[in-house]
Structure 1
Amino acid sequence: MGLVREFDSQSDVATYADVLSFPGSSPESKRLVEHLLEEDREAHHCLYGLGFHNHLSHHLLAAYDFGATPPLLQAIVDAEQNELLDVHTDDIKKKTILIQEVKIDERNWTQFLGQDRYYANLATFFTHEVKRLGGKEAYEHYIFSNAAHRNGAYMLERFVAGAVHPLIQIGYAFEFNSDAMVAQALAQAAIHDAFHPDLFPWNVPYDIPETQTPNSNGHVTEPAPNVPPRLHARGETILSILRQMYDSEILTPVLPYDPNALLSQRRRDALTPARTAEIRRLAALWSYMPDLTPTELAERTEELFFVTTLLFAGTGRAGRKPRLDFFLMHMLNSTIFVPALAAPLRSDTARAQLLTAQLTVVLAYVLLRGRPRVDPELLMSYTAVPLPPSLRAAPILPGGPTPGALGDPTDHAQVNPWPALITHVLPARDAHTIKALRALYVGAQRYADVPAGAVIGAVDCEGRETHKGARALDGTVFVRAAGVMVDNMGWVGPGEAQEAGAWDRSALGWDAAWVGSD
């Protein structure tokens, strides 16, 4: 099935009203992006290299949503397609191609799980299932049903594997109303190994979590006037859970620090039975409740936006060059899709599992990156008006008098920084950069007006900050994070032409990762 038919009406371009949908698309760009996505589906495997994922569809849709022109959409494909592999690749490392002469159906599909050579066959199978059931129905059935879980199928655990790329894939599918991408995402989930099933409470039913009073970090402040603490009526907040994680002796990162360890090695070393049990307990304190109300779901989505932004841009060290961790960036990029993934689920239990799985993976990656500490003061120290470097030197922007304008458009304090951020990220070579900006932009769309003291979990019921400086967090965190990201990844657009930057892979939570100069 082609994306063309799924984009027949304007209302199909974005399923949710608060998805970005930035103006700039045209009939020509719409036709081209549909064509390029269809070519990618038919020609390319979802993996390449050793552990790398095909981001082409994500990159195209994020750029299209920010108003990319047809020449830019084509340039994205031209830059990325040469490293991608044939859809029938038999051996990812050797890049050999062999069509697998097997027919996958409802009776045998679980026999092919975890085997990337069957990606094309699984994509064909899930395409038929999406046609038969519908995209959202197929998603619920093949990720959350008993059939998707029993006898080691663990499809939900595969869905959040691979740095949550299958989840991100289906998130784009729902936001852009593409059943074809739903089938892609299900096939992508199916070829991954399950992400540590023992991390998830439904796999250890006897392990019943007990709510604990969050520990204080010793930073006690008076409650802010007129801004009561925002806490959950039941369950703990993520910032409270992070405080417990930081205080936990069980979750002390593996020592000594190995700067060259691959993520697979860090997983083997870190996810011991004791640590997985502790992460499982902590995640269950937040959301493992089948009867979550719409209000509770909305609050937990808001929390994820703030916390993943804090983990993304607020885990560096004061006085040092900012670092943005490559894997924590994926936690931010996946959070944007939680509403779209929760909405079609008819099962209350499935919604609870989705939220718990998301937080579980976030906590696991915090551990795998050396348990980096969130620093609200650091994030809030970054400017809320990030501008291209050439415009920062003077407090007044160039251009001379503006007699026809209200206010003073040359004053930094009166500038909306988002247009410049978009201009410089839209042509960025790295596919993750525009996806991260899109997540931060949507976070700002939804939560920019949250005042200081009103971030969920910033203070506890006794007025104590859960993390030093948390009370000052407000809705400007998204634009501050966007600014430090573009500073790091490069202002590559017109007028600056900086070189592209790089994501941090040092596992920045370990103190030893910061030894030496920047």
Structure 2
Amino acid sequence: MATPNKIHLSINDTGVVHNKPQNEETAARTSELLQENHDKHHIFFNQDGFHNHIAHHLLTLYGLGAPTSVIEKQYKHNVDYQRPNMPVEDSIVEDMSNPEHFQKYLGKEKYYRDFLIFWQNEMEKSGWEDVLNKNLFEGGERANDLLTRMYAGFLHPLIHLGFGIEFKQPAIIAEALAQACIHDSWISPYLLKCEAASTSGTSDKILPQLIDEIRSNSKLSNAAHWEDGNKIRDGILKRAPDEMISIARQWNVSEDQIGAKTAEMISTAVYFTSAAQKPPKQVKFDFYYMHCVNASIFFPTFNAQTWLSAASKVRLLKFKAYIDLAMYASRHSPPLLLEEIALYTPKKLEKGDAEWPGLFQRLFEYPDDGHAVKLARAVRNAQSVSEEYEGKVEWDRVKGFMWEKIGNMVVDSVEDTGNNWVRSAGFEEAWTDFEDRPREAHL
């Protein structure tokens, strides 16, 4: 049984995307590897805050039906550069229980392991659902601070939380809470200001429409500079914060719209991530936009939680959309070229290689840190979630055969030469090292 201290995967809980069934041997071995990572490694593999993706990677592979040999191979590929956990100081863990002292440990990566033990202890007392409701969703300064930190670090704490809930692993949820605690809180004012200024009941604008407004706003589209260390924090929120909030606040969600609005968010994240191409350059996906897609997969799981109130589900979803819109603006709001998807010719048209099972199989063997297979799984989820709305809504920019073409673009792009990802797709500088390739769309 999975507990706040023990990872235990079940063959009955393999996530929201179904590809191949799992077996007890792989469940046991994957649990062992995740437990080793949990016990031994810091959530950052360096002091610059680069994230340990082992839990994301292994759970994605496990959920898609990868065999034990693949999961072991991918674990070995990424384990050597992880940092060891720091020693726990019992006095610090105890001090974190004092509400007046808790805040002084926030934002400091050296306290990751202390926070992890703290949250595990809290879950042992009252269960992970109660811990999340009390510490993320009950409102108030502390809960608001911790909830918004979930969206920091390019959504990594939120992604981690999603994996923990999707695969029913309280220990992974504890990792997510500890990870959120050691991230900075600079994103919090943006999210809370958007929420406070929300035009609830007075706007029915869809996300693709707001993306178009961002692109047409020259001050906002040019607010991020190539040399900015963080293009949201140092660009958008310093040079055009009012413009960003003015647009983002217009996306509304009522409690009776949660399902449809979730599908809109998921589909739109795939839209701006996959259509941000630069012909005739190689097909590549923006590294930062990709995280908006990879985080989107968890929202149907969030919505399915009976312990979570409808108001909390709305809040989770709106904050995610606020981040997506800011992320799009932060990369110089590139033009979105749907023809690059529609006219794309997969590179491997052999039987099965260009279909979802074949695409996942190719990614089982691809040696990265898990970003690619996470992206493909999230796109497949987006297709499943969006299909019932196709042709019935205004936001369905991606539809029909385009979904599987995007899956092929993901796999083909990482198997191609050069870097796996383009970083900041709206900047000319980002494409300097990528080759010009004739593609069918430009013949």
Alpha-carbon spacing, 1:58–1:250, altered in 2? closer, same or farther (3 Å): same
Q: CA deviation at 1:41?
A: 0.9
Residues 1:445 and 2:384 aligned together: yes
- One of 24, 42, 46 as aligned partner of 1:45: 42
Equivalent residue number for residue 286 of structure 1: 251
- One of 255, 274, 282 as aligned partner of 1:321: 282
Equivalent residue number for residue 311 of structure 1: 272
Q: Secondary structure at the match of 2:230?
A: helix
Equivalent residue number for residue 423 of structure 1: 361
Q: CA deviation at 1:312?
A: 1.7
Equivalent residue number for residue 504 of structure 1: 422
Q: AA paired with 1:182?
A: I
Alpha-carbon spacing, 1:374–1:454, altered in 2? closer, same or farther (3 Å): farther
Q: AA paired with 1:124?
A: I
Q: CA deviation at 1:203?
A: 7.2
Asked if 1 retains the 8 angstrom alpha-carbon contact of 2:186 and 2:233, the reply is: no
Q: AA paired with 1:60?
A: L
Alpha-carbon spacing, 1:60–1:51, altered in 2? closer, same or farther (3 Å): same
Asked if 2 retains the 8 angstrom alpha-carbon contact of 1:62 and 1:435, the reply is: yes
1:63-142 paired onto structure 2 within 5 Å: 63-88=61-86, 101-102=91-92, 103=94, 104-107=96-99, 108-142=101-135
Asked if 2 retains the 8 angstrom alpha-carbon contact of 1:246 and 1:371, the reply is: yes
Asked if 1 retains the 8 angstrom alpha-carbon contact of 2:194 and 2:248, the reply is: no
Q: AA paired with 2:405?
A: R
Asked if 1 retains the 8 angstrom alpha-carbon contact of 2:194 and 2:322, the reply is: no
Q: CA deviation at 1:456?
A: 3.5
Equivalent residue number for residue 231 of structure 1: none
Equivalent residue number for residue 249 of structure 1: 218
Asked if 1 retains the 8 angstrom alpha-carbon contact of 2:383 and 2:403, the reply is: yes
Q: Secondary structure at the match of 2:400?
A: coil
CA distance in 2, matches of 1:178, 1:74: 20
Alpha-carbon spacing, 1:208–1:265, altered in 2? closer, same or farther (3 Å): closer
1:139-288 paired onto structure 2 within 5 Å: 139-147=132-140, 149=142, 154-201=145-192, 205=196, 207=197, 209=199, 235-254=204-223, 258=226, 261=227, 263-264=229-230, 267-272=233-238, 275-287=240-252
* RMSD, matched Cα: 2.9
Asked if 2 retains the 8 angstrom alpha-carbon contact of 1:198 and 1:204, the reply is: no
Q: CA deviation at 1:249?
A: 3.4
Structure 2's unaligned 5+ residue stretches are 436-443
Equivalent residue number for residue 433 of structure 1: 372
Alpha-carbon spacing, 1:9–1:326, altered in 2? closer, same or farther (3 Å): closer
Alpha-carbon spacing, 1:418–1:367, altered in 2? closer, same or farther (3 Å): same
Q: CA deviation at 1:9?
A: 5.8
Q: Secondary structure at the match of 1:166?
A: helix
Q: Secondary structure at the match of 2:422?
A: coil
Q: AA paired with 1:332?
A: V
Asked if 1 retains the 8 angstrom alpha-carbon contact of 2:9 and 2:27, the reply is: no
Q: Secondary structure at the match of 2:251?
A: helix
Compare CA radii of gyration and give the structure with the larger one: 1
Residues 1:34 and 2:25 aligned together: no
Structure 1's unaligned 5+ residue stretches are 89-96, 213-233, 398-409, 459-469, 491-497
Write the deviation string for residues 360-397 of structure 1: whole angstroms up to 9, x where unpaired.
111111122111222222222224xx352xxx4xxxx5
Q: AA paired with 2:78?
A: E
Asked if 2 retains the 8 angstrom alpha-carbon contact of 1:143 and 1:159, the reply is: no
Q: CA deviation at 1:125?
A: 0.8
- One of 353, 359, 373 as aligned partner of 2:315: 353
Equivalent residue number for residue 225 of structure 1: none
Which segment is superposed worse, 338-347 or 28-37? 338-347
Q: AA paired with 1:502?
A: N
CA distance in 1, matches of 2:71, 2:130: 31
CA distance in 1, matches of 2:10, 2:237: 47
Question: What TM-score does the superposition give when structure 1 sets the normalisation length?
Answer: 0.75
Q: CA deviation at 1:347?
A: 3.4
Alpha-carbon spacing, 1:442–1:157, altered in 2? closer, same or farther (3 Å): same
- One of 336, 347, 353 as aligned partner of 1:374: 336
CA distance in 2, matches of 1:265, 1:240: 22
CA distance in 2, matches of 1:370, 1:58: 29
CA distance in 2, matches of 1:100, 1:265: 38
